[in-house]
Structure 1
């Protein structure tokens, strides 16, 4: 009985992400962007924990009634794509035609990506940009770039979802794992500080946040390029 109960508890943990998504959406509707991101970060933390627990406790064997992968993808689409993109437009950071461009392109591409059966590679990295628009949106809230630049970057990342480019999984990608985990934890800490402090990080912390974001975005591509160089 214990293995079954333990495995079922992982599904229950994953499902809390839907509650966090609802709280985040309510905060967004009220224009409380700090709390919106804090709830999204809570959902992100759950998403980072439930996968390792599911594999360790054989969820597919002991709690097969519920499809953990499907549950995870539903919640990820809400918290990674739908709510963050709404926030970019509703906050006024990407208004007008630039905002409508993001509202059209990103949810469309994100829906296709989260249904892509080839999103993972043999080394547990992501094939294509993994649709982390929650992270992109937080960077936009902190840095406040030109709206048209945000749109251009969003279009490029949407296209990158379906290109043969690799992006590291913060927990599962073996190569550079200690560094990746350290950068991920640093990013999460800075992200929490940014959301809690109304997106004002200061100069040093802001540069550190940008550097951590750049590493998580480009590390997989760098690994891929180094691997091809070795084969050449």
Structure 2
């Protein structure tokens, strides 16, 4: 297979995320929440794999006719923002005006964030909360906190999108990757199990979701507070 063909196959792999988004949306319309999140987890896995593949096969060099960054952003908005916001509203977990407030805040703030050219920092962290509303929605479905707590978290994270806080990328952020990547993998496994159990999951799954979610949210800000150790070169 030629380098050009491999590069275009990476784009096609990324584009499958749009199919999984449609399948998730169809499940959401029917209020089949476990199935919806199962498809979102599949899309999340694709999103985690396609980036390393794109860099490995140099898609910007061999497949320039397709903008992989734009393709990824379109799919991410559907799977990270639009469908999770609909689920929070339609499920009744945010009743009355709180549901309207949440979907307006999430969709409006996120579309501005996705268009912000300063989304990524030089150290491969995100500048501000990276609009991972799919992760928040799944945790809310699994743990069912009080609606006022959910709304408060939505507002705080929406504000954090435009703050100077950093948020780690589980694959690309080099610092603490040895902890961040396993945490992201554990979160994904726990999320899949919660959906499999139709959100009547065992307590250890809920605990895994809580611990890994807290770590993934706070790791970036913690890195801003904790100075990085400088590596000492060889003597001489």
TM range (shorter): over 0.9
1:220 match: 220
1:153 paired residue number? 153
Shift of 1:204: 2.4
Tell me the distance in 2 between the aligned counterparts of 1:18 and 1:158. Answer: 24
CA distance in 2, matches of 1:43, 1:69: 16
Farther off after superposition, 142-151 or 27-36:
142-151
SS at match of 2:130: coil
Alignment of structure 1 residues 53-64 onto 2, 5 Å: 53-64=53-64
Q: Which residue of 1 aligns with 2:42?
A: 42
Mapped partners of 2:160, 2:53: distance in 1: 30
Q: Any conservation in 1 of the 2:194–2:205 contact (CA below 8 Å)?
A: no
Q: Which residue of 2 aligns with 1:208?
A: 208
Q: Give 5+ residue unaligned stretches, structure 1.
A: none
Secondary structure class of the residue paired with 2:226 = helix
C-alpha distance in 2 between matches for 1:190 and 1:171: 18
Q: Which residue of 1 aligns with 2:233?
A: none
Please report the TM-score for the alignment, with normalisation by the length of structure 2: 0.95
Query: Per the alignment, in what secondary structure is the counterpart of residue 227 of structure 1?
Result: coil
* 1:183-194 alignment, distance < 5 Å: 183-194=183-194
Aligned 1:1-232 pairs, distance under 5 A: 2-227=2-227
Whether contact under 8 Å (2:193, 2:205) holds in the other structure is no
Aligned-partner Cα distance in 1 for 2:117–2:194: 34
More helix by share: 1
Unaligned runs of 5+ in 2: 231-236
Cα separation, 2, equivalents of 1:132 and 1:103: 14
- Give how far 1:227 is off: 2.8
CA distance in 1, matches of 2:111, 2:184: 25
Query: By how many angstroms is 1:205 displaced?
Result: 2.3
- Count of paired positions: 230
| TM value normalised by structure 1 | 0.96
Query: Shift in Å at residue 199 of structure 1?
Result: 1.0
